[in-house]
Structure 1
Amino acid sequence: MIKQILLTFLMSCFLFQAQAANLAEVGFFVNDTNRSFLKTIHAQGKFIVDHPSSKGYEVYGPKGLKKWLTANSPVSFRSLSNSIDKRNSLLSYPSPEQIESRLIALQKKYPKILKLISIGKTETGRDLWVMKISDNVNVDEVEPEFKYVANMHGDEIVGRELMVSLIDELASKYSKNDQEITTLVNNTEIFIMPSLNPDGAAKRRRGNSNWRDLNRDFPDVERDARAFDFTENTTANRELETVAMMEFQNRRHFALSANFHGGTEVVNYPWDTKSSDFPYMNLVIDLSREYAASIPSMRDNREFIDGIVNGYDWYEINGGMQDWSYHWHNDLQVTIELSHSKWPSYSQVPGYYKKNRASLIKYMQRVHQGFGFKLDSPKKGRVTIKNFRGNSFQLLESLDFEGSEFYKVLAPGKYLIELESGSKKYSFEKEIRADDIKENGAFKSIQL
């Protein structure tokens, strides 16, 4: 009994610490050019650091943050609160309700390929909308699944606008039989979420209606204080938006994703929370570099070589969506920072879309750079992936699978795929090529 009480007490302490660590009620820019104060900030365990650069970094936390910085910071800092001019710029952006109306209008205009899905609601009752784009939009097809998510930080608005524009273009060009778009849509299940945090967008603030930072609210891949054993993929004690995304992801089989932010221009690739190499480091670097390459302002950003950066090398994030997505769901995800200004003049949005458009399309096409299989019935088992190096197949990764559908994005090359479920085994070789959109992903049918 005493042991159980002690365990409950310890869990309560860890939970309190975890919840405090993603609270973003106020924010400041700290002019710490050599990052000498970062270690002290991290040691508090309750502040959020974002966008370190040669000029300094952002720090978010509870309302007592200003008092703490005043007492402890060896360098100057300034508030990130909205100025009068910035507040006025709120009026130029559509409200969450106007975005919702536009999405509904697009679905009505293109009902054959667009399906608007609410995956949950926010604390204030706003729907969390995802647009499915597919040639058979009301059918769950066996095809590679792709996902874009934007605006999880409410004050980082450019991604939301770009996603609505992308949905519009995909549907419009499909209706006009554009070959590139038609080929992509006919052979892929695409899901686009313009805003994971409409409550934050409505108030132009980083956190949701509870002031929580959603990109610190997902299960951490190393040590999650909300989980009983610190490694469980649990929805307990998380924000409604986080739970909605977790449950949505659990119902799907996403193989490639990206989430959009603002504050600089760079493609951030995993891991965010640990220094160890990502299992497919060369692949994720190539995908990131390809996205940045066609955007001069991103590619030539003086802060980042080639416009890309490893998340942990930049700054550690615990509880981020990017790492969670791959660690528990085999969904390779990068984080794309679209603009130096988090909330630029609305008149600049078309320019951001124009310079990102080619990269947005190309990144979606890359989901076909992989292999998939479809089993005759749902099963639990293990997939072992080996790639051909030198003169033999070498182990690359071994991972669990559950269900009847599996898909994996890989770098170009020759692979040996080995399946095992109970006493049954199956193996096959696969050649992966770039720039090859296969019919419905060319899933291999297997009786196991």
Structure 2
Amino acid sequence: MNTLSSSVAVFLAALVFSLGLAAPVTAAPENIGMDPTYAFSDRYPVEIAASSGEALLTLLDLSIDFDRVDFNGGPDHPGTIRAYINDDERATLETAGYTITQIPNEGKEMWEKVQKEWEARGALEAPVTLPDKGDRWTYWYSFAELEGDLQALANDNPDLIQKISIGQSVQGRDIWALKISDNPTIEEAEPEFLFSSTIHGDEVTGMDMCLRMLHYLTDWYGINPSITELVNNVEIWFIPLHNPDGYVNGTRYNAHGVDCNRDFPDPVSDPNDNPAGREPETQHLMYFGYDHTFVLGGNMHGGAEVLNFPWDCRYDHTPDHDLFIEIAEGYTYLNPPLWNSTEFYHGWTHGAEWYLIHGGQQDWWYEWRKELHYTMELSNTKWPPYSQMDTFWSENRAAMLHMMDEVLYGVQGIVANSGTGLPVNATIDVVETGRTIRTDPDWGDYCRLLKPGTYTFQFAAEGYNNVTVNNVVVTHENKTELNVSMTPEGSDVGVAEFVRINLSEPTPNPVNPSQGAVRLLLDLPRAAHLTAGVYDAAGRQIQILKEGFDLTRAGRHTLVWDGTTGSGDPAGSGIYWIRVLAGDQALSRRVSMIR
């Protein structure tokens, strides 16, 4: 962890004069009960009072582990910072004239109570006995119980859940990630979403929200149409407990005493997107992120109630600032305590305008992965009594579902090679926003969330001719489909003119070939070379529906698949994709085969 350097100490001493701070003041000792020092660390929680708004903002620029800031009347007025410091840092700050008040470590105090409950029911080590479904939401799980519940959830829902370890903590505990999808072990051309929680081991409300949402989605899949649509069309990932060592030991930090939410590459202080030399928990999430292309996500915290978005590391606004606000308000509108916040307008804040940090997770996602992620502060208390979790669930359930639904909208499509139909690893620029995203290299799919408006999209890839698409219209909570075929450089067919085609959903779907073939309607605005084929879930072509040697006339066409492979054998039950290439555009539709 960072400590106050001697140069900072000199700087702070100068503040006594330049900012008119009072002489060194030590607050009267508080009755704080148990030792407030965090496990694996020499730090403890304090409140730091500043006598002017300028002094407060100056504090935020220092290398102290800040937790939250309360502006009494706004950022131009004096306020209080909650932070975690050691004795040396405290002495330096007090010498510079800041008033330091040591406060109870409420998270640690609650953890000690919970730890005794775990011991009493024999829950510290596997095997453990999980509660019946009716008694599930009654107490904080131990780590062993959490692992048992996640494994039982995966065992009970093999067609919906994939459970993996993204790596192990300092002390060797697995960091579990669960994917919910209608094809959980197969990557599909679908947008990806991520909820993670408890990178600070004593901030646990989000962990419980993730666990409840995992159960909620599996319980209601196939029953609730909106839940079924979400799971069928989005690859949803959960990491309920990012810092298991911190959770087991009741501390903010990992077992090396490091705040992992200050350990990520940072655009300002550490512009090096390299996991080497970082904490294991940080490295594992980074490598997990490299393997995925998330459209949207949220990492859950406690100690405040607000949705926080980039930048944390600089006061500038991102190109997606207004979009961040729109998505945040979609969440907070459904969460009354956030929407009605008296501290944050409608329950959201631009990170640095609350307080500046470096090495935060959300800035790494945005800068290097080009993804939209929030820091979601869900409870003012870091480790609340479990009796409050039903209330937090009722406040966050609909909001979490709404946030996941967001990735069903925006501009979506597949970028493919115009000759082979294979996915292209392309960059996508929206001229009006100034931010570049990438396609998923496995499928060539992408999803760009945007506020309503009209945009210009530019597609580029190494070895391909660029494609520009003008007048792409985005409307509120609707999907605009934009599929693009890219022509290799030097190809004798030249650069194709963009053709906007329309392909209907397949009918019937699901299909049983014994009862008839599946049909799709294709509208061509002009004559084009048309290729159509059927692909299995692994991306292998099993049937050709239309060769592209001759021009296909403009107008409406019907594509028919009788459920057979190219060899004439019946295709087995499962998921298939009908992919169409028309000139410079590619479209795909999913078909469920039932025999």
Q: Is the shorter-chain TM-score for this pair beyond 0.5, marking a shared fold?
A: yes
Determine the C-alpha separation between the residues in 1 that align with 2:446 and 2:307.
27
Aligned equivalent of 2:144: 97
Aligned equivalent of 1:390: none
Q: Return closer, same or farther for 1:74/1:384 CA change in 2, 3 Å cut-off.
A: closer
Determine the C-alpha separation between the residues in 2 that align with 1:428 and 1:168.
42
**Contact 1:158/1:339 (CA < 8 Å) preserved in 2?**
yes
**Contact 1:24/1:61 (CA < 8 Å) preserved in 2?**
no
Q: Return closer, same or farther for 1:187/1:215 CA change in 2, 3 Å cut-off.
A: same
Please give the per-residue CA displacement for 1:233-272, whole angstroms capped at 9, x wherever unaligned: 0112101111011001101111111111111111112111
**Contact 2:362/2:373 (CA < 8 Å) preserved in 1?**
yes
More off after superposition, 363-372 vs 103-112: 363-372
SS in 2 for 1:397: coil
Determine the C-alpha separation between the residues in 2 that align with 1:303 and 1:314.
10
Task: Check if 1:177 corresponds to 2:223.
Answer: yes
Aligned equivalent of 1:218: 264
Task: Check if 1:163 corresponds to 2:210.
Answer: yes
Aligned equivalent of 1:399: 436
**Contact 1:37/1:73 (CA < 8 Å) preserved in 2?**
no
Determine the C-alpha separation between the residues in 2 that align with 1:203 and 1:106.
25
Determine the C-alpha separation between the residues in 1 that align with 2:486 and 2:98.
65
Q: Which amino acid aligns with 2:343?
A: E
Residue number among 466, 489, 510 corresponding to 1:425 in the alignment: 466
| Richer in helix (by share) | 1
Aligned equivalent of 1:371: 411
Matches for 1:43-442 after TM superposition, within 5 Å: 45=63, 47-53=64-70, 54=72, 56-62=80-86, 64-69=88-93, 71-72=95-96, 74-82=98-106, 87-90=112-115, 91=117, 92-174=139-221, 176-224=222-270, 231-372=271-412, 373-376=414-417, 377=422, 379=424, 381-386=426-431, 395-399=432-436, 401=438, 403=441, 404-421=444-461, 422=463, 424-429=465-470, 430-436=472-478
Aligned equivalent of 2:47: 30
Aligned equivalent of 1:446: 485
Determine the C-alpha separation between the residues in 2 that align with 1:345 and 1:85.
8
Determine the C-alpha separation between the residues in 1 that align with 2:41 and 2:449.
35
Task: Give the number of equivalent residue pairs.
Answer: 411
Please give the per-residue CA displacement for 1:2-48, whole angstroms capped at 9, x wherever unaligned: xxxxxxxxxxxx9998xxxxx96412221516566545645653x21
Q: Which amino acid aligns with 1:385?
A: V
Normalising by structure 2, what TM-score?
Answer: 0.65
Q: Which amino acid aligns with 1:167?
A: L
Higher relative contact order (CA 8 A, sep 6+): 1
More off after superposition, 238-247 vs 399-408: 399-408
Determine the C-alpha separation between the residues in 1 that align with 2:211 and 2:109.
28
Determine the C-alpha separation between the residues in 2 that align with 1:181 and 1:341.
30
5+ residue gaps in structure 1?
1-13, 18-22, 225-230, 387-394
Aligned sequence identity (%):
29
Determine the C-alpha separation between the residues in 2 that align with 1:191 and 1:400.
20
Q: Return closer, same or farther for 1:423/1:375 CA change in 2, 3 Å cut-off.
A: closer
**Contact 2:110/2:383 (CA < 8 Å) preserved in 1?**
no
Deviation at 1:381, TM superposition (A): 4.8
Q: Which amino acid aligns with 1:74?
A: Y
**Contact 1:35/1:56 (CA < 8 Å) preserved in 2?**
no
SS in 2 for 1:260: strand
Determine the C-alpha separation between the residues in 2 that align with 1:170 and 1:63.
47
Q: Which amino acid aligns with 2:476?
A: A
SS in 1 for 2:277: coil
**Contact 1:155/1:200 (CA < 8 Å) preserved in 2?**
yes
Determine the C-alpha separation between the residues in 1 that align with 2:436 and 2:384.
43
SS in 1 for 2:159: coil
Q: Return closer, same or farther for 1:433/1:60 CA change in 2, 3 Å cut-off.
A: same
Q: Return closer, same or farther for 1:94/1:188 CA change in 2, 3 Å cut-off.
A: same
Determine the C-alpha separation between the residues in 2 that align with 1:139 and 1:442.
23
Deviation at 1:79, TM superposition (A): 3.6
Aligned equivalent of 1:11: none
Determine the C-alpha separation between the residues in 2 that align with 1:381 and 1:111.
33
SS in 1 for 2:433: strand
Determine the C-alpha separation between the residues in 2 that align with 1:378 and 1:353.
40
**Contact 2:370/2:437 (CA < 8 Å) preserved in 1?**
no
